[in-house]
Amino acid sequence: MAEQQGERITYVDGTIRVPDHPIIPFIEGDGIGPDIWRATRRVIDAAVAKSYQGRREIVWKEVLAGEKAYAQTGEWLPKETLDALSFYRVGIKGPLTTPVGGGIRSLNVAIRQELDLYACVRPVRYIQGVPSPMREPEKVDMVIFRENTEDVYSGIEWPSGSPEAEKLIRFVNQELGKSIDKTAGIGIKPITPAGSERLIRRAIRYALDHKRRSVTMMHKGNIMKFTEGAFRDWGYQLAAREFPDQVITEEELYRTYHGEVPEGKIVLKDRIADITFQQVLLRPDEFDVIAAPNLNGDYLSDALAAQVGGVGMAPGSNISDTLAVFEATHGTAPKYANLDKVNPSSLILSAIMMLEHLEWVEAAAKVLTALEETIAAKIVTYDLARQMDGATEVKTSEFASAVIERM
């Protein structure tokens, strides 16, 4: 289908409007990106075709970022790519390399910040048959909402010995009465009320819409009281102000409701970051939706992915109120590039999230069921095959074919 036959996705009064032939930009990615993108595209196109019998079809539009963009344009992240993602409202991308040397620190971070994709959403759920280090991985069913634009990922830092670092240290020591070693490298950690509130608001709305039980705010506020501690405080204040009839605190749960969550309500609670890592291992079924500042959310997302089989099985999206970019959550693995070898499940699962975002739930369900059946049949790529007894090891493209056959 030619591009001009497709239409762009729009929003009306905050509600997504998806045409039957939406134009969706894709970035195939670096390293293993082209292999897993080809597999994912085949799976998604097959699911849409089987679900809607030609009535709906995605019109794919390639945009460039990473090594392919640099080779063709001399830029790692062309403005045209950002413009296309912004204009078409929904996009999907493979893994991107981080350029060595100066310039962009991370292309992934740059896309999030340039488009103000303030929430990184990472569902973590076990798929039966995937090797896991946990005794009961099926108890892991969480959705992480990680703030995407603030915290130490803002990139406000200066190296040891630089004029900027020395100037800032001098100001802090002389004007604010602190004592920082003059040889220190300096980083600044901004966390704002607005940034925290929109992230926590989205997590609460997700929990309510999906009939989840709780939202846990993960923070290190016992030490960083005015950044991460404030993140926690702003969350409670937001809930009391905007969701007074739908959200109760953990204190209210036991004081007023004797530990029983009333119908139609969710519990808002908080946990210190370090204890959270222990509790998601020992008591994963006590966690549901988790909202976290940027760095905490980054660590926790990958730690939880390990509990259900690794980042190769972990989907993700970066979203704002009117934009969404879905992505594989792992790296580029350049030594496996163009070998048709690696597991495409992270990108396929992210594409399922994309279909759900489009409200094409029939196609999303078809992909998920077929993926689960393929893994249950022990037809897997090398990363899972080496951990499973009796597995049939297949190539990336063959895995996609096996998923399609089961639709």
96: Cβ contacts below 8 Å, ≥ 6 apart? 27, 29, 30, 33, 65, 66, 107, 108, 332
Confidence (pLDDT) at 105: 67
288 flagged as catalytic? no
Summarised one tens digit per residue, pLDDT across range 198-224 is: 999 999 999 999 999 999 999 999 999
Confidence (pLDDT) at 211: 94
Summarised one tens digit per residue, pLDDT across range 83-124 is: 999 999 999 999 998 776 555 668 888 899 899 999 999 999
Annotated catalytic residue, options 88, 118, 153, 189: 153
Q: With 80 as the cut, is the pLDDT of residue 3 above it?
A: no
Which of the four pLDDT bands, split at 50, 70 and 90, describes residue 153?
Answer: confident
Paired with 218 in beta bridges are 271
Summarised one tens digit per residue, pLDDT across range 224-256 is: 999 999 999 999 999 999 999 999 999 999 999
Q: What DSSP state is assigned to residue 285? A: G
Paired with 292 in beta bridges are 146
Measure the CA–CA gap between 218 and 298, rounded to whole angstroms.
Answer: 12
Annotated catalytic residue, options 220, 269, 341, 366: 220
Q: With 60 as the cut, is the pLDDT of residue 128 above it?
A: yes
220 flagged as catalytic? yes
Measure the CA–CA gap between 347 and 342, rounded to whole angstroms.
Answer: 11
Which of the four pLDDT bands, split at 50, 70 and 90, describes residue 5?
Answer: confident
274 flagged as catalytic? yes
Q: With 50 as the cut, is the pLDDT of residue 2 above it?
A: no
189 flagged as catalytic? no
Mean pLDDT of 290-300: 97
Measure the CA–CA gap between 85 and 324, rounded to whole angstroms.
Answer: 8
Confidence (pLDDT) at 154: 87
Residue ranges for the known binding site for Mg(2+) are 298
Q: Which fold has domain 1-132+317-407?
A: Isopropylmalate Dehydrogenase (3.40.718)
Spans of all domains in the chain:
1-132+317-407, 157-188, 189-307
Tokens in use for 26?
A: 């894709």
pTM (two decimals): 0.92
